[in-house]
Amino acid sequence: MVYYIRYLKAPRLQKQKTGSISASALICITTDLGDAFLSQDVDLLVTLHPAQAENKILCQERVQWHGGKRELPITLGPLPAGISQLSMIMKVTASKSTSTSSDPLMDQQNIPLVLSCWSTSFGGRQSLIAEKLIERRFRVNQSVELSIWEETGNSIARHIWDAAIASVMYLQQILARDPKSANPVLQKILQSERGSSLNVIELGSGCGIVGIALADLLPQCSVLLTDLDEVEEIITKNIEAAKPAHASKIQYRPLDWEEELPDDLFDTPSVDLVLVSDCTYNADSLPALVSVLGRLVKLSPDAVILVALKRRHESESIFFDLMQSAGLEDLNSHHMELPSQHEQWDEIELHCYGRRSQHVI
């Protein structure tokens, strides 16, 4: 599993007793579930950039995260007088690079163990305290850089999960025709010349990283992100930050699996691809999730469902039985390894489902 640097206390400018100004924050390095902290030491680089000129550095310091700790206070300063007139961003990274570059998600071997975080801007005309948000930046290929906002708290829906990281890499590799991710079913729909848009729906999209990445990577791709009402604000922010490829678009609408599928869910009656990332952790909601998948495939018999999951407990295996009972077959399975601490690897499963009769390869 990868580890996420999170702000427990958002960055802020503070006047010290001596009259000097410093910037401080409280961070932790934790898992997607927030249930464990990085238990190895890692060097971090903390940088303050002007919000309008991120290639410039206002202040930079190295600090160390010690394995076994649950949090790390950070203080940068004393900062030059007058700095609070400037709007700035704080970046914390474990990357050795001193540049402002994003975390690479191009090649499985190069995924960082610890993902960097950026703050919202603070200082200047804004508040002296950054918002309770974290930006993640990912380099997905030579031309696509993703910017995804998460919340700093422990909400399940409003941050990125490991299976989403693996899904983005997997889709990127398929689009790049990487032999490591050979998947004829997905290749057929993602790489084919289309006269019309590829229609994609993501269920339980959380912050929306998977669907947004696909729309940014693939021209002529129409992505509908769905989740519970609670994600609306963060997903809207992420859609605004997205840079969809030519003739691609991203929309959001609430969709609760426990409720009836609205008749007007799509502009178009057919769906080509359904994305589901890290939504199988709660056995209680699996019947409702599979029922929605079954109904989507009934409406669009050619649809392919890409399910990414990290097995967290035994009860999740019921998902596979339910899929089979719904007439959905696992057409192609892969796994992707994400780095974990102490030079271990963690496995994310990627299953491609559909009606077998519809996908004779």
Instruction: Give the binding site for ligand SAM (CB under 6 A).
Output: 156-157, 160-161, 163-164, 204-206, 209, 227-228, 231, 255-258, 277-279, 281, 285, 288
State the minimum distance, in angstroms, from the CB of residue 274 to ligand SAM: 12
Nearer of residues 22 and 30 to ligand SAM, judged by Cβ: 30
Please tell me the distance from the alpha carbon of residue 180 to that of residue 38, in angstroms, as a whole number: 29
Contacts of 48 (CB under 8 A, 6+ apart): 23, 57, 58, 59, 60, 76, 79, 88, 89, 90
Helices 286-299 and 318-325, axial angle in degrees (round to 10): 30
State the minimum distance, in angstroms, from the CB of residue 252 to ligand SAM: 12
State the minimum distance, in angstroms, from the CB of residue 84 to ligand SAM: 35
CB 340 within 8 A of CB 1: yes
Nearer of residues 204 and 339 to ligand SAM, judged by Cβ: 204
Nearer of residues 32 and 272 to ligand SAM, judged by Cβ: 32
State the minimum distance, in angstroms, from the CB of residue 162 to ligand SAM: 8
Nearer of residues 72 and 274 to ligand SAM, judged by Cβ: 274
State the minimum distance, in angstroms, from the CB of residue 235 to ligand SAM: 9
Residue appearing with tokens 């919340």? 151
Nearest one of 234, 233, 208, 212 to 221, comparing CA atoms: 212
What are the angstrom distances between the C-alpha of 271 and each of 94, 207, 266? Answer: 40, 21, 8
Nearer of residues 123 and 339 to ligand SAM, judged by Cβ: 339
State the minimum distance, in angstroms, from the CB of residue 148 to ligand SAM: 9
- Count CA atoms within 13 Å of residue 65 on its CB side: 27
State the minimum distance, in angstroms, from the CB of residue 324 to ligand SAM: 21
Amino acid at position 61, single letter:
E
Nearer of residues 122 and 319 to ligand SAM, judged by Cβ: 319
Angle ∠(45,7,130) on CA atoms, nearest 5: 100
Report H helices in the chain: 162-175, 184-191, 209-217, 232-241, 286-299, 318-325
Nearer of residues 54 and 316 to ligand SAM, judged by Cβ: 316
β-bridge mates for residue 133, sequence order: 151
